């Protein structure tokens, strides 16, 4: 894939993740989780939003090489998140795979 396609695919998945984590189904599932998991979900949602903003605002020329270097990890992370979001009932799994994708995204752009 080209750097433009890698960034577009990553952004598309992060946006889909944000939407899923703000859905009624997700919020209903969180109701049954312990407070620590709810807090982790909130942090993950904020980190997801931050990654979206950073990837949108960075110029492609500045992150081109990092996108190419991390292409396979980003693709694997995207696939894992897609699978995990199909079974949204497993909150811990979703948080784990989204966190893994965010770690790879942090190799491309600086995240807090």
Summarised one tens digit per residue, pLDDT across range 13-52 is 999 999 999 999 999 999 999 999 999 999 999 999 999 9
pLDDT of residue 42: 97
For residues 65-69, average pLDDT? 96
Q: Smallest Cα–Cα separation from 84: which of 39, 32, 29?
A: 29
pTM of the full predicted structure?
0.92
Q: Which residues contact 112 (CB under 8 A, 6 or more apart)?
A: 47, 50
Token pair recorded at residue 48: 């997801």
Cβ proximity of 41 and 30 under 8 Å: yes
Domain count, the chain: 1
Summarised one tens digit per residue, pLDDT across range 84-106 is 999 888 899 999 999 999 999 99
Based on the number of CB atoms within 10 Å of its own CB, is 74 exposed (0-12), middle (13-18) or buried (19 or more)? buried
pLDDT of residue 89: 82
Mean pLDDT taken over the chain: 95
Domain that holds residue 85: 3-108
pLDDT of residue 36: 96
Euclidean distance between the first and the last CA atom of the chain, given in angstroms as a whole number? 27
């Amino acid at each position: 894939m080209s750097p433009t396609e890698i960034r577009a695919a990553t952004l598309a998945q992060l946006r889909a993740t944000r939407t899923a984590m703000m859905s009624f189904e997700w919020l209903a599932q969180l109701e049954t989780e312990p407070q620590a998991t709810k807090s982790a979900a909130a942090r993950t949602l904020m980190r997801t939003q931050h990654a979206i903003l950073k990837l949108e605002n960075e110029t492609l020329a500045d992150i081109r090489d990092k996108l190419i270097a991390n292409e396979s990890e980003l693709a694997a992370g995207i696939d894992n998140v897609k699978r995990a979001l199909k079974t949204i009932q497993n909150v811990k799994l979703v948080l784990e795979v989204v966190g893994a994708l965010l770690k790879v995204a942090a190799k491309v752009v600086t995240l807090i």
